[in-house]
């Protein structure tokens, strides 16, 4: 498991071993009012497969007591009190779009809905920073960004945390963004992968898949990390209801994944 002890850090600093930073090109001066924490790596959880619905909007939005109709090609997964519904479709660049992401290049787009069917709030880690490691979310964090890697021959788009690498120490706990889902409520959002798909995971400060994605991969699945730690999240300066919470690898059944399905073609 990952243990974080942080007291209002102003920034973060990553160290591997006693002397050298893991990612020297991204090293920062860490000013913390508490002691430097030491983390130990935990293995990633085995996802809870099941069966996912289309959802609209560029970023997640919450609706209380909503009912979602599964569309053609939708996949649904249920884990505990969480239901995940998702569809994938080819996406083209938007007119005049620049920069990175599905708006500027062809790719695959997942529309998803997460529903809390239980009686307690849950936290969905569904706002993934492009570079995991900072103690705060960047103001321009892309709500549609997801990690992209191959798992057992299946293309996985996933919004989740990862365990720190062996002997990696953080002066300030890295954070991810998320949304609280109240009992009976749902959130909707999007995730994307460029096409042909390529590996997109956190840097080597974290334990993450490193094998390149096979461009000929035939199946996909979508995953979201959901936990009962909603009370440990804090409001983010990003706004829009986005919360910040310490990043950690999914434990137990926290990683909810749709079953493998054939990647659609244009």
- Mind listing the pLDDT tens digit for each residue in 181-225? 999 999 999 999 999 999 999 999 999 999 999 999 999 999 999
Question: Going by C-beta distance under 8 Å and a sequence separation of 6 or more, which residues neighbour residue 236?
Answer: 136, 137, 177, 242, 243, 244
> Which neighbouring-strand residues pair with 190?
111
Q: Are strands 154-159 and 219-227 parallel, antiparallel or unpaired?
A: parallel
- Please tell me whether residue 69 adopts helix, strand or coil conformation: coil
For residues 19 and 95, give the distance between their C-alpha atoms in angstroms, rounded to a whole number.
48
Of residues 73 and 224, the one with the higher pLDDT is 224
Residue 33 pLDDT exceeds 80: no
How much is the pLDDT for 53?
A: 26
Of the chain, the percentage scoring pLDDT greater than 70 comes to 68
3-state secondary structure of 154: strand
Contact in structure between 188 and 142 (CB atoms under 8 Å)? no
Q: 0.85 cut: is pTM over it? A: no
The predicted structure's pLDDT at residue 106? 82
Distance between CA atoms of 103 and 244, rounded to whole angstroms? 25
Residue 160 has pLDDT above 90, yes or no: yes
Provide φ and ψ at 234, rounded to 5°: -130, 155
pLDDT at position 68:
37
Q: What is the DSSP string of 29-40?
A: ----SSPPP---
Cβ–Cβ contacts within 10 Å for residue 83, how many? 21
Q: Dihedral of CA 175/78/260/196: which sign?
A: negative
Q: For 95-121, what is each residue's pLDDT tens digit? A: 666 666 666 778 999 999 999 999 999
Q: Residue 55: pLDDT above 90?
A: no
């Amino acid at each position: 498991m990952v243990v974080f002890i942080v007291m209002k850090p102003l920034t973060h600093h990553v160290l591997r071993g006693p002397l050298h930073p893991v990612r020297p090109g991204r090293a920062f001066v860490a000013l913390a009012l508490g002691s430097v924490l030491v983390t130990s790596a935990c293995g990633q959880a085995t996802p809870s497969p099941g069966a996912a619905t289309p959802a609209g909007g560029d970023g997640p939005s919450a609706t209380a007591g909503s009912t979602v109709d599964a569309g053609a090609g939708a996949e649904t997964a249920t884990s505990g009190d969480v239901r995940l519904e998702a569809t994938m479709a080819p996406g083209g660049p938007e007119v005049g779009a620049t920069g990175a992401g599905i708006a500027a290049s062809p790719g695959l787009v997942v529309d998803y809905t997460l529903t809390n069917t239980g009686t307690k709030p849950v936290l969905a880690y569904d706002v993934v920073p492009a570079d995991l490691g900072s103690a705060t979310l960047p103001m321009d964090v892309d709500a549609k960004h997801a990690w992209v890697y191959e798992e057992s021959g299946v293309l996985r788009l996933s919004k989740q945390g990862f365990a720190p690498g062996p002997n990696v120490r953080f002066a300030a706990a890295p954070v991810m963004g998320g949304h609280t889902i109240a009992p009976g409520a749902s959130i909707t959002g999007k995730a994307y992968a460029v096409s042909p798909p390529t590996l997109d995971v956190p840097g080597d400060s974290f334990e993450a898949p490193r094998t390149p994605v096979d461009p000929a991969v035939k199946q996909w699945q979508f995953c979201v990390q959901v936990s009962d730690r909603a009370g440990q999240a804090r409001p983010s300066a990003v706004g829009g209801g986005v919360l910040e919470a310490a990043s950690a690898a999914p434990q137990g059944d926290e990683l909810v994944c749709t079953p493998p399905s054939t990647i659609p073609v244009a």
